């Protein structure tokens, strides 16, 4: 939970810096939900490309849409409703302001790099290189 609060805090401040001062809470939750979904896609791709012997999709076709909406709703309830966003910003303001943004940068970077590497390796496998 603390990691989610840290990500929320960093993305909230980022959203304000780039000019989204009206709904930074929604922007922060959207970013976190998007990258959680990308991790789920990465896990599914890795499993279906390299581990599973089946050539079909491991999970249902509506799973990602429903799961994405569910993740977004859960994160919004946990981090934003009833003024929790303001509380998180007040409690952790001194603790996390000015600190390095390493984990806030690594969280999306790892998901994107994992996605690209999986696609690249699968393309090489399909072309017969490996």
Give domain limits for the chain: 2-127
Q: Would you state the structure tokens that stand for residue 97, as one six-digit string? A: 């302001």
In the block, tokens 């090489």 appear at 124
Q: What does the pLDDT read at residue 1?
A: 85
Distance CA 107, CA 35 (A): 8
Q: Among 10, 47, 52, 50, which residue's Cα sits nearest to residue 32?
A: 10
Distance CA 23, CA 9 (A): 14
**Confidence tier at 54 by pLDDT (50, 70, 90):** low
Stretch 32-51: mean pLDDT: 89
Distance CA 119, CA 111 (A): 12
Distance CA 54, CA 82 (A): 46
**Confidence tier at 75 by pLDDT (50, 70, 90):** very high
Query: How many percent of the chain have pLDDT more than 90?
Result: 46
């Amino acid at each position: 939970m603390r990691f989610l609060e840290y990500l929320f805090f960093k993305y909230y401040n980022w959203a304000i810096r780039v000019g989204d001062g009206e709904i930074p809470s929604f922007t922060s939750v959207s970013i976190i939900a998007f990258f959680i979904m990308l991790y789920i896609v990465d896990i599914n791709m890795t499993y279906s490309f390299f581990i599973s012997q089946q050539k079909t999709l491991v999970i249902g076709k509506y799973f990602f849409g429903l799961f994405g909406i569910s993740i977004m709703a859960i994160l919004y309830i946990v981090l934003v409703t009833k003024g929790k966003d303001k509380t998180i910003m007040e409690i952790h303001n001194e603790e996390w302001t000015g600190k390095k943004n390493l984990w806030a940068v690594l969280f999306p970077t790892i998901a994107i790099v994992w996605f690209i590497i999986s696609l690249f390796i699968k393309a090489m496998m399909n072309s017969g290189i490996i």
